[in-house]
Each structure stands twice: as C-alpha cells, then as structure tokens.
Amino acid sequence: MDLGVHALPLDLSTTYPVHSLSEGTASFDALVAGDAKAPNPIYARLHNPTVARFEEGLARLEGAEAAVAYGSGMAALTALLLARRPHGQHVVGVRPIYGSADHLLSSDLLGMSTTWTTADKVAEAIRPDTSLVLIETPANPTLQLVDIAEVVRQAGSVPVMVDSTFATPVLQTPLALGASYVLHSATKFLGGHGDVIAGVIATSEERAKSLRQVRALTGALLHPLGGYLLHRGLATLSLRVERAQASAQVLVERLSHHPAVAKLHFPGLTTESRAILNKQMRGPGCLLALELAGGYEAAAQVMQRVQLFTPAVSLGSVDSLIQHPAGLTHRVLTEETRAKTGISPAMLRLSVGLEHPDDLWADLKQALDSVSAELAA
Ligand SMILES: *Cc1c(COP(=O)(O)O)cnc(C)c1O
C-alpha cells in the first residue's frame, strides 16, 4: 500500500521476518492476548492483513468496534461457544435455527448444554450459568422473524448472539438493537459468488479479544484468499441484496396466485411479521419458502424441473438456488422438531439471485404448472 495501489494486495505470507527481537516479543504478546494487530504480524495464525481488511469493513457495516473472521460459519459459532464457556456452560437457543447450528448445540461436543425455547419464553429459560442466548432472524428456513430488542430485554445481563446471515448488514444491524454478537455465514451474501466458505462475528473490541484468542489456539482460520474475495464482495453487497430482494418481492407476489402453492413464507406477510420487520429491518430480504399443495412429491418434482434455479443447498449467491429443507439442510433434526418448528415435507426454500425476475418467474411457473397439471389429472 506504500505504492498507492488501487486494488488491495493479497498477503499469503505464513511468517514475517523479526529483525528487532524486542519488537517481535512485544508483538507476539499483544497478538496472543487477542489484540487485532501489532507492529509485526509474526505468524499468519495470529494475524493476516488481508483477512483483517475484510474484518474492518464488515465491522464498519455492522456498526461494531471489531469483527473476527473464521474458516466457516460453523467455525465462528464454535469459537463463540468456546469463548463463552468460561462464563457458564449453558446456552439458550430459539428455534428454528440453521440445521448444523441446531445439531452442534444439541450435541454435547463442546461441553455446553442448550435449552431450546421460543422467542417469548427466553427469560424463563435463563439460568445462573447461562452465558449466551442464540437467535437467528430471519430464521432458516421458515423466514420467521424474532424481535431482537425484545429478546435482548428478556436476556437481561446475558449477551445475545444474532445469526444475521439472511439479512446482511444491508437490511439489519442487530448491535444497534442491543445484541452483543452478530454472526454471519460469510459463505452466503457477504461472499455472494458461491466460491468462499467463511464465517465472521462482529462485536465489541473487548469481546473480540477472546474470539481472536480462540481462533489462534484452535487454528480455525480464514485463508487470505477468502479474506480477499470477501473484502471485494463487500463493495457490491448492497447492490446485490437490493436487486435480489426486488426480484424476491416480484416472485412472492406471483407465487401467491399460483394454485400449486399452498403457503408462502416471506418476512412481512403476516401482521405480526410485518410489525417486527418494520421495527428492525430495512427490507424483507432475498429468501422465501413455499409449501406445495401436492406435498413432498410435488416439492421433489419442482426441484427436478427447474432449469434456471440451481437445485442446491446454500444461499446468497448471484445464482438463484432452490432446496428442500426437510430432506437436506434440516435433515439432522428429528421429525418432531421439524414439525414443531414448521419445516414441512412440502416446503422448498428459494434463494433469489441476480437473474432477471421475469426469467426466474418463467422457470418457476413452468415447473409449478407441470406439477399442477399432474395433480389435476
Ligand atoms: C450456512 C449458514 C451457517 C453455517 O455457515 P457455514 O459457512 O456453512 O459454516 C450458519 N447460519 C446460517 C443462517 C447459514 O445459512
């Protein structure tokens, strides 16, 4: 950057020369204590300038003092749980939540126990040893909204983590509503092009220190190339989200009149959801779910017959994706939990990308029409 470069450099170095031992030891101490940077980065497990550039950008977008990036969203969640463990080995989770997050929290892999509850009963679930409350809004895959400020109020002195992957900082900034941590699977909208697996947590500088310590000790790093691509992705984030959101709104409107669709899920469709949306979001986002009148079979057929939508898990890419939550992303949940949280076998989740909305609608319509025709026959 001393050269005044425009595109920022990708720093792949694993180690950095230590010419002054006194500067080296002071830098080492600072990084091991969880500082964001030091005069000498020492070793790339402690600090990488390319990853740090993405973290600073994301922190600014979230209105946070700091952000800490990891090799995946799940690595970020794991690091957060490990960082909270000394404060108490109990967490409270509101379902529904990302399938693998549910799986991790329901296991005793990290020595933490989880009480699952609903958004209105968080206060009752808090114990003296509760060190974290976890919510996801909009939630995966039902697009249910959770009132962030209300959960923060119920949690009292216990910090609240919001998985804000579906909203991105373009549509929602949970720290401003009192949350302590914002988690993103950066694999999704932040990267935006389906070519990076990454996770990031935005929080206060004090809390970030323990997250960096866990990252350095467990080695759950984001590779600098991922940091480079994510930083570049931030430049187009708002454009991508706004365009995809506008297309999602067009699709929801058209789908609501199609006879093959029994039920639609999209933030703001019900009165309760609209009230929360207006309170904490700047728009409904780019994901929607639908339930087919023809049940599981019809859902499977639609997934097979789409041509422009890619039938695949994940979301937030420039390409539109369609997937079956009960059969894929939320397969690890018990049938009972799926039923309780509204993840029906007839449900498909759509992540709208940047294709023209008329082309997306034409694709969905031909798939839905053929399913309706078969039902009528
Ligand atoms: C994908 C996802 C995760 C997990 O992130 P990975 O990058 O796949 O590890 C967590 N939360 C939500 C909402 C997700 O969509």
Higher-pLDDT residue of 2 and 227 is 227
Q: Dump pLDDT digits (tens) for 103-139.
A: 999 998 999 999 999 999 999 999 999 999 999 999 9
pLDDT of residue 1: 56
For residue 323 and ligand 1, the question of a CB distance below 6 A is answered with: no
In a domain, 354, yes or no: yes
- 8 Å CB contact between 79 and 214: yes
In a domain, 347, yes or no: yes
Q: Structure pTM?
A: 0.96
In a domain, 193, yes or no: no
Residue closest to 290 by CA, chosen among 245, 349, 246, 343: 349
pLDDT of residue 207: 98
In a domain, 163, yes or no: no
- Counting residues of the chain whose pLDDT is more than 70, the rounded percentage is 99
263 is in which domain, residue-wise? 237-376
For residue 48 and ligand 1, the question of a CB distance below 6 A is answered with: no
For residue 187 and ligand 1, the question of a CB distance below 6 A is answered with: yes
In a domain, 340, yes or no: yes
In a domain, 300, yes or no: yes
In a domain, 344, yes or no: yes
Q: Dump pLDDT digits (tens) for 4-29.
A: 788 889 999 999 999 999 999 999 99
pLDDT of residue 8: 86
Q: Dump pLDDT digits (tens) for 246-255.
A: 999 999 999 9
In a domain, 298, yes or no: yes
Q: How many domains does the chain have?
A: 1
CB 376: neighbour CB atoms within 10 A?
A: 7
Query: How many Å apart are CA 265 and CA 212, to the nearest integer?
Result: 37
Banded pLDDT at 295 (limits 50, 70, 90): very high
pLDDT of residue 140: 87
pLDDT of residue 7: 87
Task: Tell me the three-class secondary structure of the chain, residue by residue.
Answer: CCCCCCCCCCCCCCECCCCCHHHHHHHHHHHHCCCCCCCCCCECCCCCHHHHHHHHHHHHHHCCCEEEEECCHHHHHHHHHHHHHHHCCEEEEECCCCHHHHHHHHCCCCCCEEEEECHHHHHHHCCCCEEEEEEECCCCCCCCCCCHHHHHHHHCCCCEEEECCCCHHHHCCHHHHCCCEEEEECCCCCCCCCCCCCEEEEECHHHHHHHHHHHHHHCCCCCHHHHHHHHHHHCCHHHHHHHHHHHHHHHHHHHCCCCCEEEEECCCCCHHHHHHHHHHCCCCCCEEEEEECCHHHHHHHHHHHCCCCEECCCCCCCCCEEECCCCCCCCCCCHHHHHHCCCCCCEEEEECCCCCHHHHHHHHHHHHHHHHHHHHC
Cα angle: 29, vertex 35, 40; to 5 degrees:
60
* 188 carries an active-site annotation: yes
- Counting residues of the chain whose pLDDT is more than 90, the rounded percentage is 90
| pLDDT at 375 exceeding the cut of 90 | no
Best residue for ligand 1 mutational test, from 105, 134, 171, 185 (most atoms within 8 Å of Cβ): 185
CATH code for the domain of 262: 3.90.1150.10
| pLDDT at 341 exceeding the cut of 90 | no
For residue 349 and ligand 1, the question of a CB distance below 6 A is answered with: no
* 2 carries an active-site annotation: no
Q: Dump pLDDT digits (tens) for 47-65.
A: 999 999 999 999 999 999 9
CA of 232 to the centre of ligand 1 (A): 20
Query: If you average pLDDT over every residue of the chain, what do you get?
Result: 95
